[in-house]
Amino acid sequence: MPDTAASPTVISAIDARRVLLHLQGLGSSATRSSAKSVHSMVERLGYVQVDSINVLERAHHIILGTRLDGYRHAHLAHSLEKTRNLWEHWTHDACVIPTKWYPHWKHRFDRYGARVERSSWWTAQFGDDPAKTIRRTLARVKREGPLKARDFEPPENHRSTGWWEWHPEKAALEHLWRCGKLAIARRDRFEKVYDLAARVFPASHELSRSSATDHIHWACREAITRIGIATPTEIARFFSAITLVQARAWCVQAVARGELIDVLVQNKREETKPTKCVALKNWKTLCIAPNSDRIALLSPFDPVIRERARVERLFGFEYRFEAFTPAAKRVYGYYVLPILEGDALIGRVDTKFDRAKDTLIIRGPWWETGAKISKTRTRKLEDAIDRLAAQIGAASWTMSD
């Protein structure tokens, strides 16, 4: 008898996105927020991205507020600044991450340090004597305790010409943070306050770096656990901790061990070929129809929509973040939030918090083709806007053309 491999399981786009939404905390009614539930939600998601744009609200607060009713900044601050079971560092970008994974970040610290040594851009930011600048900056933090970049006066001849041109000590602080010698002890009005990592996370800082093999297993296992069905690229990009080659090899081995299964995921656009993925063996138990009685407005940095190609495949929804697009070339707006209803992305709104008038301004909505406008759907959108206004502290909201 010839040896014939079984055909891969075929999963519909709807089922695949239901698994994703369930695992990413958007498949049911929102949980009540508390310091404990915020910590649990970050662990469930794997990371929550931090972003500096504040035209509406910081990204991490919107992401958590979408999933947790009554969310308050203090709930997250408790874990970041008191219990320290969450911390802030880098994945694909700056993120809030469970502290229990600290040993795996020691690989990143080492890679980052080596990369900076080869970077002419970074070397230029440190001034005329990079090694001296770094030593002096670290020594001052060690001596004086938590410090901000503004606590270091830039050289008299320094002239900043752009967002990413820092004065030498600011560059040194960022470098020392990214390579693990400093940590973010807290933020004051979003400004980082740096201290020695050994003082901020004494127990975690003393732990040994995980082995290379364990690190790859961790990165892949934790990624697929949080997205359920994925390509090797999506697994590698989840934490941006390993290479695509490593992720591909791990997926082959995990299937051979019987931990995962090979699947084909159909695309929302039927003319497109199914996508080869791997899936958790119990993916069917995670395929839960989400609550469609409530609309959620997603941050542009929400982990569910981070992978734009996946969003187009599974939801048939094209999304581009246009904040850095010249105003005249924007299609929708500066800070556009996708509208999630049940398991479908049905439209989008552009948002801005006019703090002077204490008013949330909404432009749109722009509905997707096939999304029928009804009194019920309009009411659900208004309820979602009410929740968003309450979360950011706006006294009122208004629709604007």
Instruction: List the pLDDT tens digit at each of the 401 positions of the chain.
Output: 444 457 899 999 999 999 999 999 998 777 899 999 999 999 999 999 999 999 999 999 999 999 999 999 999 999 999 999 999 999 999 999 999 999 999 999 999 988 888 888 888 888 888 899 999 999 999 999 999 999 997 655 555 545 455 789 999 999 999 999 999 999 999 999 999 999 999 999 999 999 999 999 999 999 999 999 999 999 999 999 999 999 999 999 999 999 999 999 999 987 789 999 999 999 999 999 998 899 999 999 999 999 999 999 999 999 999 999 999 999 999 999 999 999 999 999 999 999 999 999 999 999 999 999 999 999 999 999 999 999 999 999 999 87
pLDDT at position 111 is 94
Q: Residue 314: CB partners within 8 Å, gap ≥ 6? A: 13, 16, 17, 20, 265, 267, 268
**CA–CA separation, 183 vs 193, rounded Å?**
8
Query: Whole-model pTM?
Result: 0.94
pLDDT at position 71 is 97
**CA–CA separation, 169 vs 179, rounded Å?**
15
**Paired strand residues for 194:** 147, 184
pLDDT at position 4 is 47
Q: Residue 211: CB partners within 8 Å, gap ≥ 6? A: none
pLDDT at position 158 is 52
Total residue length of the chain: 401
**Paired strand residues for 68:** 31
Give the burial class of 119: count Cβ atoms within 10 A of its Cβ; 0-12 exposed, 13-18 middle, 19 or more buried.
exposed
Q: Residue 243: CB partners within 8 Å, gap ≥ 6? A: 236
